[in-house]
Amino acid sequence: MARQEINIGTAPTGVGGDTTRSGAVKINAMTQELYARNALLGTASNVNVGTASGNVMPVGAFGLGGAGRYVTTNPDSSSVGSGFNYYDDQSGGASQANGRFGIKFSFGSGLNQGFELLAQPWSNKLYFRYSSVSAGAPWYAPLEIYHTGNTTRGSGGALSAASPIVRIACVATSERRDLQEQAFEPAGEWGVANDEARGVTVERTGLGEYRLSGSLGLALEGWRTQDPCSPDGGRMLGITDSQQDEDGTVTVRLFKQRWTLTEDGEMVPGRGAAIDVPLNSWIDVRLEMPKSETPPPPTITEE
């Protein structure tokens, strides 16, 4: 930027005036300061603040450093570009992203390609989705991400989708340092429970017999119990049997594995004598828990 000199007029004369100078008084201190500032800031000092292309972004633009954008339109629309969003419950869209928080990265001439991370409010559920114009679907339905909050690692090391989970083992004498890994906490002397099974207690009522209280009972779908395995997952250490009372109390029993030779020469596994859970293993039990109260929807206003 070229330097400018501003003529502010002629100095006053006479009483109180400056009689030592005559003609135009040229003051360029202000323009020198502006020149130095523009040289320091560069082109940013010559553009507008806003969210249009070429603008300098203010705090809160696209949800950066401020409240996320409250999106009431279809979350699959190309008009919803990159940013931090909350999709209103009534936003709709084939992606089913409505009612969730999202961090979206869009690109392409129509902002119709990209990737997005989504979180379900007041839950441990995480999702991701992506768009692929070449595949003919702007945005695919969200895919749930498995993590330590919605999976469990069995006594043999196998990972499975599950929650809420209780592990049956003698907490005080167990040889497994990973018995209380991650979010598992003691649930009595004979069990630990993960975060979603909090409130469940495990009681040993006899040799190889355990009673679980505080839940609605065994899971309504999917697997319910996993037999104890050796730490390397190589072999089963017992066979479990479970039953549920009307009040939701669950009883789990553990037996030795006994092999019987049939008349056809086949070895068939069956139940042997009752045993307690081996010190180097545990029994996994998947439960159904009471539904927690859902907080009211967020009070987010569209900016």
Least confident of 36-45, 74-83, 97-106, 231-240: 36-45
Ramachandran area for residue 208 (φ above 0: left; ψ -120 to 50: alpha; else beta): left
Torsion of CA 28, 33, 38, 44, to 10 degrees: -130
Per-residue pLDDT band at 23 (split at 50, 70, 90): very low
| pLDDT tens digits for range 198-226 | 899 999 999 999 999 999 999 998 889 99
User: What H or E segment, with its residue span, contains residue 274?
Assistant: strand 267-274
For residues 241-262, give the mean pLDDT.
92
Whether the pLDDT of residue 31 is over 70: the answer is: no
What is the reported pLDDT for 281?
A: 94
Query: Parallel, antiparallel, or unpaired: how do β-strands 113-119 and 126-131 relate?
Result: antiparallel
| pLDDT tens digits for range 151-205 | 777 666 677 777 889 999 999 999 998 888 767 889 999 999 988 888 999 999 9
Q: Would you list the DSSP string of 112-161? A: -EEEEEEE-TTSS-EEEEEEBGGGTBSSPPPEEPP-TTTEEE-TTS-EEE
| pLDDT tens digits for range 262-276 | 888 888 878 899 999
Domain boundaries defined on the chain:
61-144, 151-288
For residues 136 and 292, what is the distance between their CA atoms, to the nearest angstrom? 40
Residues whose CB is less than 8 angstroms from the CB of residue 126 and which lie 6 or more positions away in sequence, other chains included:
117, 118, 119, 120, 144, 145, 147
**Measured on CA atoms in the order 179, 183, 185, 191, is the torsion positive or negative?**
negative
Residues whose CB is less than 8 angstroms from the CB of residue 256 and which lie 6 or more positions away in sequence, other chains included:
238, 239, 271, 272, 273, 274, 275
What is the reported pLDDT for 22?
A: 45
88 and 152 Cβ atoms separated by less than 8 Å: no
Distances 226 to 1, 111, 155 between C-alpha atoms, Å: 75, 47, 9
